Amino acid sequence: MIRKLVLMVFLSLAAGGESLAIEGMGNPWETIDDAVCAGLKITDFSYDVGAAVTIKISERVPETNSLPGYCRVVANIAPKNTVEIRLPISGWTGRVLMAGCGGLCGEIQMARTDDALVRKYAVAHTNMGHAESDVAFADDAKMLEDFAHRSTHVATLLLKAVTKAYYNRAHDHAYFRGCSTGGRQGLTAALMYPDDFDGIIAGAPAAGPAVPNIVWALKANTRSDGSSILDPIAINILHKAVLGACDMNDGVKDGIVSDPPTCTFNPAAITCDKAKTGQCLTLEQADTAQKIYDGVANPDGTKYASQGYSKGGELGWLRTLVRTDKPAGMEGVAQNYLRRFADMPNPPKAIADLDFTKQLVRLVTVDSLPSFGPGGQRLALFQKAGGKLLLYHSWSDDSLTPATAIDVYTAHEKAMGGKEQLDPFFRLFVIPAMFHCRGGDGPDAVDFLSAMETWVEKKSAPEKLIALKANQSPPTNTEYLFPLQANEVLFSRPIYTYPWAARYSGQGDAKDASTWIKN
């Protein structure tokens, strides 16, 4: 009531006392007066969020060639959460979207919401409670809690409250979308805050075995002198051999391994002596490749996760696991992982020092998911609240192996009684030949928002998604703007719910998704 009164008084003054615009606004799809946006700055949302909220900025941003006009709100939520919210001035659809972050976050990345803002969503993003560039923030218990789960939750509460104040009515549907760290945010929200979102799109979650698998693979490919065992020449030889063995498994030769679990290629089959370097792998290289495929293992040989990196995704290793004149892309992640052993005598200081038989796998709050609860109890609460969860990953992810999503899904499949029990609210899709969240030789443009809108609002669950390969990717940290035009698409492919894969029917243009069937 106090919040509403403050807005009413402000708007009355802004209008010369003639009317209370917030009371007479009526249809929320009408263009909202600038005074309403300005009034948000003197509105207290602390009660709605359950923490001290300070609105730092509330301003109108005019329409551009790429974005509609919107009300921009920047807020701080105690202790150190920064949140930015963008509210379309006209044409609001009644939908709100919280976007996930990437890496260790520590900054606002509003470009991740541009496509949704164009679709007239009210959108938001958070720095996840800190502004650090490395994992040192995790030494602070409050910042760690915010990064783990709280920041996304309180930012969502603020998004909903600000939206209601601005449009004078509550939202119709709340959605979350994120990949990598954002994927973990989405899963965590489903497990801990079942009422926050109607639909969650969670991609390639940076959780569970994700970081240990990265470090395992990097360690496997690193000699004691720091050089890479699998160099660019060896990786290209390996990838070519994998395609030769498994590319045609889906019925068409296109440089894509559609269903890596069915690929029985063994790197030992292409070994030879050093005299033939450039044509085959050495025994050392073949052994390394197998370790990377297998994934992180316990000292007794049992695997910590269902798999490592998939066959067919080797070219992605060039940017994540191979050191040339520059460090491998995942070396920074590995160095942060080594911090977890700082309490041990003589802790490892470099990747080459790490010994998985002595320094056993350690998970910390930064990359852990909450407990699933007995019988998948936590996700059952999300289902009871009416939530829908679309989890996706890519077989050729070059950063986080697909085990990070597959293992979450199969654990709930087992706990909750099988796939038929999950299908009404939880579905997994695994995309072939896509790198981490985007890129690679496979199709990486999927209109997840439309699929989730249809599932939540029309009660029609996605049996398959259509993935497109575009001739140009959008800039970093931005999403494709759908629908893509025909001249922007190189080919399309259906992606069926896990564990199903797609196979070419043998009739028609293999570049057209309609010529593929469930296998």
Residue written as tokens 């030789």? 441
Give Cβ neighbours of residue 472 (< 8 Å, ≥ 6 apart). Answer: 488
268 φ, ψ (degrees, to nearest 5): -65, -20
> Is the CB of residue 365 less than 8 Å from the CB of residue 239?
no
Residues of the chain with confidence (pLDDT) below 50: 1-2, 4-26, 28
> Is the CB of residue 432 less than 8 Å from the CB of residue 256?
yes
Residue written as tokens 């569970």? 208
Closest Cα to residue 87, out of 201, 169, 200?
Answer: 169
Measured CA to CA, the distance from residue 41 to residue 148 in angstroms comes to 28
Characterize the bridge pairing of strands 122-126 and 81-88: antiparallel
pLDDT in the model for residue 26: 39
pLDDT in the model for residue 268: 96
Q: What is the DSSP-derived secondary structure letter of residue 395?
A: T
The predicted-structure confidence for 27-72, as pLDDT tens digits, reads as follows: 545 789 999 999 999 999 999 999 999 999 999 999 999 999 999 9
Please state whether 204 falls in left (phi above 0), alpha (psi between -120 and 50) or beta. left
Closest Cα to residue 36, out of 225, 160, 164?
Answer: 164
pLDDT in the model for residue 11: 43
pLDDT in the model for residue 29: 53
Instruction: At 211, list the tokens.
Output: 């970081």
> Is the CB of residue 203 less than 8 Å from the CB of residue 183?
yes
> Is the CB of residue 396 less than 8 Å from the CB of residue 440?
yes
Give Cβ neighbours of residue 211 (< 8 Å, ≥ 6 apart). Answer: 333, 337, 367
Instruction: Return the domain boundaries, the chain.
Output: 1-171, 210-366
The reported pTM is 0.93
Give Cβ neighbours of residue 42 (< 8 Å, ≥ 6 apart). Answer: 6, 10, 55
pLDDT in the model for residue 402: 97
Amino acid in the structure at residue 265? F
